Chain A
Amino acid sequence: MTSRRQFLGTALAAAALPRLGWADAGDPAFLAAAQDPDGSYSLFGLSASGADLFRVPLPARGHAATAHPEVPEAVAFARRPGTYALVLNCATGRVIARLTAAPGREFNGHGAYSMDGDTLYTSEVVALTGEGRIALWSRSDGYRRIGEVASGGIGPHEIRRLPGTEMLVVANGGIRTGPGDREKLNLDTMAPNLTYLMPDGTVEDQARLAPEWHRASIRHLALDAFGNVAFAMQWEGPVEEAPALLGFHGLHGGAPRLARAPDDLHRAMQGYAGSIAAFEAGGKVAISSPKGGRVQVFDSDGTFAHEILRADVCGLAPLGDRLVMTDGHGAFVVTEGGVPVGHTRAPRAWDNHIVAL
C-alpha cells in the first residue's frame, strides 16, 4: 500500500518537475567507457563533436551502455562477468540507480529498453553453467529485477529491441566461461546463435551458422530502422581459418548472409570484430578489429567498401552519414567516406564501445 507520504512525495515531484527530454541533457550524442591514466574507469557523455559533457566514475571496467527511448537516462554496464550496472541521469551525470547482479547471475555487458522505456532488459548468464538469461527490470519500480527468461543459448552478449516492436534480438555468443572469470570452457562444442524472442520468453526465430563455423561467436549487433540485423563475430578457431566476421539477418530470414573483405584485408582483421555500427540510414555497416588496427566498411548488401586503419580502434557509432570511431589511445574520430573529417583526443583509453544516444 502506498503511504500518504510516498503518495504526496510522488505527486509533488511530478508537479514540480517538468519532464526532462534528451535535449535537456546538454545534448550528449554518445556514451563511452574509458580507462583513465590513473588506471580507474569512467563513463563519459560526449557531444556530437566528441567533447566531454560529463564523467561518471565507474566501480570497475565498463563495457557498453543503453539509452532510454524518451528521457535522458541511460544504463552503463560492467564488462563481463559484470556485477553492476548504473542508471544515469544524462543531463547531470548523476547515478539514479545501481543494479546489482542477482545471486548466481552475471551481467554480460549489454542491455536494451522496452518500447515504453519502463522495462530494462539485461543480458546475463547463470554463472555456474553459462546458460543465457534476459533479465527484466522495472524502471517505475525503482529498477527492481522483476523476472528473467532464457536467452536461447549460451553466453548472450549484445541484445537489441527491433524498432517499433517489443521483439528482442539476442546475440548468443555460445562461449561458456567459468563463474567470475573469462576463461573459455567450451570452444570445441560452442554453438552461437541469433535468437529473436518476446519479453515473455517466446522464441520467434533462431539463426545459426554452418556447422564448420560454430566457433564464430556472434557477439555484437547493429540494426537499421526496419529491423534488419547486422552482426559481428569473433573467431575462436585458428586465426588463419577465420571465416567472415560480419553477417546479415532478418526475422524469419532463413540462413544468415555472411560478408568478408578480400583475402589479404580479411586476414588482417585477425579473426576478430569487436564492434559494429550501421550508418548512412542502414546503407553501410562497419566492423572494427582492434587486434588488426582497422575498421572495414561494407554496403548493406555485403559488398566490401573500404577500410580505415587505426591502431587499437574498437568503438563504432553512427553519426548520420558519418561514422564515429574511438580507440584505446584516446582519439574520437569522425570519418566520412572513409576519410577523417574531425577528431578530438583525451588522455584516456576508450574501451570497447561507444553508444549513440
Chain B
Amino acid sequence: MRLLIAALCLLPLPLRADPAIDRVLDDVVTPGFTSFVAATDALERAAQADCRASSDGLRGAWNAAMDAWLSVADLRFGPLEDDARRQIIAYWPDKSGHRTKALARLLTPGNPGLADAGLFRQQPVSVRGLYGIEAMIYDPRFNGYGPDDPGCALVRMAAADLDETARAAAEAWDTDFAATLRTAGDGANARFLDEIEARQVVFTALLASIQFDINERIGLPIGTVETPRPLRAEGRLSGRAQRNLELALAAHERLAMALAPDDALMTAEDFERVRFMAGKLDDPDFSGVETPTGRFRLEAVQTALTLLRTVANEELSAALGVTMGLNALDGD
C-alpha cells in the first residue's frame, strides 16, 4: 500500500493528458465541427446562389448541414450550451407549435427582421437554425416563395445566422473549451476540478443524448397506443426522421467508443444491434407509427435503445470512474 501511494505521488498527474478526453477531442469534436462548419458554410452559399425551396443545391446543402449537425449534437456541454446556441441551431421539439406562428408573423413584406442580421437574431429561436430552414423549404404552407418574396430573404438570413452560430461554437471549442477539458484538475481550472469531472460531463452528455432519442426522436411520434403522433416526428417535413435517428445512433456510438474503446464491449454489441434495427425500419418520416407493424418496429428500437442505455451506463461508468447523479432527474 505504502509503495502504491509512493508510486502514485511520482506520477506528474496534472501534465498527463487523459486519453479518454484526447480521443473525444480528436475523434469526435475536431472532425465533427470541421464538417459542421463546412456544411453550414456551403448552405449559406447555396442559399445565396438560389434561395428557392425547389433548388436542388439548397436542399442538398441543407440535408448535408443536418447530417453534420447530428455528428456534434451529442456535445451537450460547453460552447453548444453557451449563448443558447443549441436552441438557435436546432430548436426541436417544438411541442407548442411556436415555429409555424413565428414564421407567419415574420414573413411579411418589408419586415425589418428579414433585412438586418442583428434584428434577425432577435427573432424567436423557432424561426432560426436548421428546423426554421426545413420548414421554409419543405412545409407546403411556406415553400412557395419566389426570389423576391420575404421567404427568400428569410432563408438567406437564417442560413447566414446558422453559419455564424456554428462558427462561433467551433471557435469557442478551438480557442478555449478544448483546453479547459484537457486541463481538468489543474489548479487554475475552476470548471473541471479533476479528471473525473471532464469525463463525467462527456459521459452525462452521451446518456442524455441517448435518452433524447428514446423520449423525443422516437417517443414523440409513437405517442400513445390510442393516439400515435406521426406529425410530431423530427424531420417529418423533410422525410428524414429515420435518417436522423440512424445518424444520431452512429454519433452516440462514436462518442461511447471514444470514451472507452476497450471496455464497453456489450455497449458496442448493443449499438450494432440497434443500428441494424433502425436501418430496417423502412419508414423515412415515421408515418408508419399509425400502422401496427410500423409502431411495433419503432417501439422495438426504443426498447433496444433503453436497454443499451442501461448497459452503456454500467460499462462506461465503471470504465471511466464516474457516477450518474440523482438530483437532476427527480428532485424534491
Contact = CB atoms under 8 A, between A and B. Distances in A.
A325 to B, nearest CB: 11
A331 B193 contact: yes
Interface of B: 77, 84, 190-191, 193-194, 196-197, 200-201, 204, 317, 321-328, 330-332
Majority secondary structure, B binding face = loop
Given A331-B193, A339-B190, A352-B331, 15 more contacts: A37-B323, A79-B332, A272-B331, A290-B331, A293-B328, A311-B201, A312-B327, A328-B326, A329-B324, A330-B196, A340-B190, A343-B194, A347-B321, A349-B323, A349-B327
A312 B324 CA distance: 9
Interface string A258-294: 0000001000000010100000000000000011010
Contacts of B323: 37, 328-330, 347-349
Contact of B328 (A291, A309, A340, A347): A291
A145 to B, nearest CB: 23
B325 A311 contact: yes
Nearest to B193: A343
22 contacts: A79-B332, A109-B332, A274-B332, A291-B328, A291-B331, A311-B201, A311-B204, A311-B328, A312-B326, A329-B323, A329-B324, A330-B196, A330-B323, A331-B193, A333-B193, A345-B196, A347-B321, A349-B324, A349-B327, A350-B325, A350-B327, A352-B332
A327 interface: yes
Contacts of A264: 84
A351 B190 contact: no
B126 to A, nearest CB: 12
Nearest to A343: B193
B327 A352 contact: yes
Contacts of B193: 331, 333, 340, 343
Q: B77, B194, B317, B332: which has the most chain A beta carbons within 10 Å?
A: B332
B194 A314 contact: no
Contacts of A339: 190
Nearest to A313: B327
B20 to A, nearest CB: 15
A328 B332 contact: no
B200 A329 contact: yes
Contacts of B194: 343, 345
Contacts of A219: 332
A312 B77 CA distance: 13
A351 B204 contact: no
Given A274-B331, A291-B331, A339-B190, A35 B196 contact: no
Interface in A320-354: 327-331, 333, 339-340, 343, 345, 347-352
Contacts of A314: 327, 331
Contacts of B327: 274, 290, 312-314, 327-328, 349-352
A63 interface: yes
Contacts of B196: 329-330, 345
A24 to B, nearest CB: 29
A294 to B, nearest CB: 11
A349 B323 CA distance: 6
A119 interface: no
A331 B197 contact: yes
A234 interface: yes
A13 to B, nearest CB: 38
A63 B332 contact: yes
Q: Which 3 A-B pairs have the closest CB atoms?
A: A328-B325, A312-B325, A290-B327
A312 B200 CA distance: 11
B98 to A, nearest CB: 10
A311 B330 CA distance: 14
A290 B191 contact: no
Interface string A56-71: 0000000100000000
Contacts of B204: 311-312, 329
Given A311-B204, A329-B200, A331-B193, A349 B325 contact: yes
A109 B331 CA distance: 12
A179 to B, nearest CB: 17
Given A234-B331, A274-B331, A352-B332, A328 B324 contact: yes
Contact of A329 (B77, B197, B332): B197
A329 B322 contact: yes
Interface in A53-98: 63, 79-80
B321 A312 contact: no
Contacts of A330: 196, 323
A270 B86 CA distance: 16
B206 to A, nearest CB: 13
Nearest to B200: A329
Contacts of B324: 328-329, 349
Nearest to B322: A329
Contacts of B201: 311
Interface string A307-321: 001011110000000
A76 to B, nearest CB: 15
